Amino acid sequence: MLNHILQGKVIKGEAVGRTIGFPTANLKLTTVPKVKPGVYAALITLNNQSFLGLAYYGPRYIFGQKTNTFEVYLFNFNRQIYGQVLSVKLLKFLRVPQTVKNINALKKLLESDLASLNNYVILVDKNDKIIGVETKKTAHLGKAKLHRAISVQLFNEKKELLVQQRSAQKMLFPLYWANTVCTDVRPYETYLQAANRRLQEEFSLTAALKPLLKFTYSAQYGKAGSEKEIDQVFIGFSNVQPKPDPAEISAWKYMSLDQIKTFSGQLAPWFKILLKNLSVSDIFKS
């Protein structure tokens, strides 16, 4: 990680990024950056709030510019911040500047930048404040690093929960039984976006998910590594037939909460915590 910090005031630009879904903040920096031009994963601080995003230092070739400028794209951010000062910590170098011929090509390039972060997680402190990013594997080694995750509980009309047995290929807790789906939150995602993505990826399902609770836990799996997460729990309802991904799921079934609590299968540690906080009466009145 680089951890090079820059500061600057947000100034008006051409607002082209907004037309392709990537609104950027152009910064007038207080000092000339001593970093190589390119795109970086970045931690942006505004009024003591932390956001992840992309930072670009270099010429804006699409406008025919040759001098270096600096701009940032804040993930899941939609506020007017002209004239405000941002602090930008460069976390990871992603690529060198590339020439693009038109706006559509620029959009595809930025989408590729986001995809390059798919194997990263969001590091947070105990208050869930964003402090950086880390590769998914590294974040789970040893005693692990605290990061964001989600767990989805999907019920059917019989008040049964869709549960899965994790693939034997999982790095942590393979073949353990767990809730419907769970995953780490990617740097450009919200908790809800991660939950919807994983439900689609693992079971080809969609649902109107609602946040239920959030908890912090850690659990070690031998010498392989550990889970150390702030876990946002969602609930949803669906009677659509699941289509499980065999690369992720070894087995699956619907079970009532009472059946799960007496189930002989080995339960994942986060699932045990969830079961202590799941009540049929609370879930089905929401």
Identity of residue 91: L
- Whether the predicted pLDDT of 13 surpasses 80: no
Compute the distance between CA of residue 38 and CA of residue 216 in angstroms, rounded to an integer. 36
Question: What is this structure's pTM?
Answer: 0.94
- Whether the predicted pLDDT of 145 surpasses 80: yes
Place of tokens 């080995």: 266
**Cβ neighbour number for residue 247 with a 10 Å cutoff:** 9
Choice among 71, 202, 227, 229 that is catalytic = 229
Pairing of strands 25-29, 69-74: antiparallel
Identity of residue 96: V
* pLDDT reported for residue 74: 97
- Whether the predicted pLDDT of 122 surpasses 80: yes
3-state secondary structure 165-217: EECCCCCCCCCCEECCEEEECCCCCCHHHHHHHHHHHHHCCCCCCEEEEEEEE
CA 158 to chain centre: 32
For residues 1 and 55, the model is more confident at 55
* pLDDT reported for residue 163: 98
* pLDDT reported for residue 281: 72
* pLDDT reported for residue 1: 56
* pLDDT reported for residue 63: 67
Mean pLDDT of 180-192: 98
- Work out the percent of the chain whose per-residue pLDDT is above 70: 97
**Which tokens sit at 96?**
């060198």
* pLDDT reported for residue 154: 97
Choice among 134, 182, 189, 227 that is catalytic = 182
Active site residue 160: no
* pLDDT tens figures, 237-268: 999 999 999 999 999 999 999 999 899 999 99
* pLDDT tens figures, 197-218: 999 999 999 999 999 999 999 9
* pLDDT reported for residue 64: 67
Identity of residue 79: R
Active site residue 71: no
The model's confidence at residue 75, banded by pLDDT at 50, 70 and 90, is very high
